[in-house]
A = this chain, B = another copy of it.
Amino acid sequence: MVRTVGYLGPQGTYCEEAVLHLYGKNDVCLQPFTGIDDAIRAVGSGEVDESIVPVENSLEGSVNITLDTMAHDVNLYITKEIVLPVKHNLLTKKGSEEIAVIVSHPQALAQCRKTLGNLYPKAKLKPVESTAAAARIVATSDGLCAAVGSLRAGEFNGLTVAASNIQDSASNSTRFIGLQRQPIVCAPGNCKTTLVCQIHGEHPGSLYNLLGEFAQRQVNLMRIESRPARTGLGMYIFFLDIEGSATESNIAAAVSAIEEKCLWYKNLGSYPVYHVAK
């Protein structure tokens, strides 16, 4: 049976680009979803074998819907991560000269605000649901509007690249994760382990004591992200990304100690990290 891989669609999104770095187009059956939560839930329900969704951008931060859905709505495991450099392009209809409106996903517009302000000081920026949808809108427009999106979105909609690499910051990249119903066994080396937990947070030192379980074992905490526990203001759950695999003894020991100390806890798995060259 051909493996089915869901992703945040429509066709031409950066998420699709990430998927195509992981899988040959003809090796898997790709299934676009209109929402990140839909793509994630489809793994839980068995509709797809895996879904690839964005989890963090270097400028905009965490993708909250990804974190919240993983914590509250499904029981899935992270089985891979892929880091994709984001290169935005200004896409227009062939023959367009004047640009009155520039459409894109709000985050893409935000990431190009300064460059667009210099190139088209009079153009109005208009947010739409995705970079791929923006390209589609331009393809069916009167030619006075342009989209910010990927080369692939441009090709897919028969658009011209009016300007490339228009992002304000050169260090713009997005992390995508693959989610599956079963965890993988991950060999040490260029990998991460992600935990999500809630602690007794009323007393001074609660988080400090938790992080001590990592520090005393020389385990490197790469990222900590708090999200609402949804039980009231001031109550949080923490996503903890640590360097290494739970097959390593110091990491396994730290993970067990964290589990002991928490009110609520999920081990989202250990997984390899891939980087797409800039």
CB distance from A171 to the nearest CB of B (A): 4
Query: Are A214 and B221 within 8 A (Cβ)?
Result: no
Query: Are A58 and B232 within 8 A (Cβ)?
Result: yes
CB distance from A81 to the nearest CB of B (A): 11
Once A60-B64, A61-B64, A226-B225 are accepted as A-B contacts, the answer to whether A171 and B233 lie under 8 Å apart by CB is yes
Q: Which of A204, A207, A236 has the most CB of B within 10 A?
A: A204
Chain B residue numbers with a CB within 8 Å of A83 are 233
Query: Are B222 and A214 within 8 A (Cβ)?
Result: no
User: A57–B230 Cα gap in the complex (Å)?
Assistant: 10
Among B219, B224, B226, the residue within 8 A (CB) of A204 is: B219
Chain A interface size, as a band, is 35 or more
Chain B residue numbers with a CB within 8 Å of A232 are 58, 171, 173
Counting every copy of the chain, the complex holds 2
A59 at the interface (CB under 8 A from B): yes
CB distance from A234 to the nearest CB of B (A): 6
Residues A199-254 near B (CB distance < 8 A):
203-205, 207-209, 211-212, 214-215, 218-228, 230-236
Chain B residue numbers with a CB within 8 Å of A231 are 171
CB distance from A230 to the nearest CB of B (A): 6
Query: Are B226 and A215 within 8 A (Cβ)?
Result: no
User: A103–B81 Cα gap in the complex (Å)?
Assistant: 36
Give the residue name and chain of the B residue nearest to A58 (CB): B233
A93 at the interface (CB under 8 A from B): no
A175 at the interface (CB under 8 A from B): yes
CB distance from A130 to the nearest CB of B (A): 13
Among B175, B218, B230, B234, the residue within 8 A (CB) of A222 is: B234
Give the residue name and chain of the B residue nearest to A224 (CB): B226
User: A204–B225 Cα gap in the complex (Å)?
Assistant: 17
User: A143–B140 Cα gap in the complex (Å)?
Assistant: 31
Give the residue name and chain of the B residue nearest to A205 (CB): B215
Query: Are B204 and A223 within 8 A (Cβ)?
Result: no
User: A214–B64 Cα gap in the complex (Å)?
Assistant: 28
A115 at the interface (CB under 8 A from B): no
Q: Which of A214, A232, A235 has the most CB of B within 10 A?
A: A232
Give the residue name and chain of the B residue nearest to A213 (CB): B208
Chain B residue numbers with a CB within 8 Å of A56 are 233
Chain B residue numbers with a CB within 8 Å of A61 are 64, 226-228
Query: Are A214 and B204 within 8 A (Cβ)?
Result: yes
Going nearest first, the 6 A-B pairs with the smallest beta carbon separation are A205-B215, A208-B215, A58-B233, A208-B211, A204-B220, A171-B232
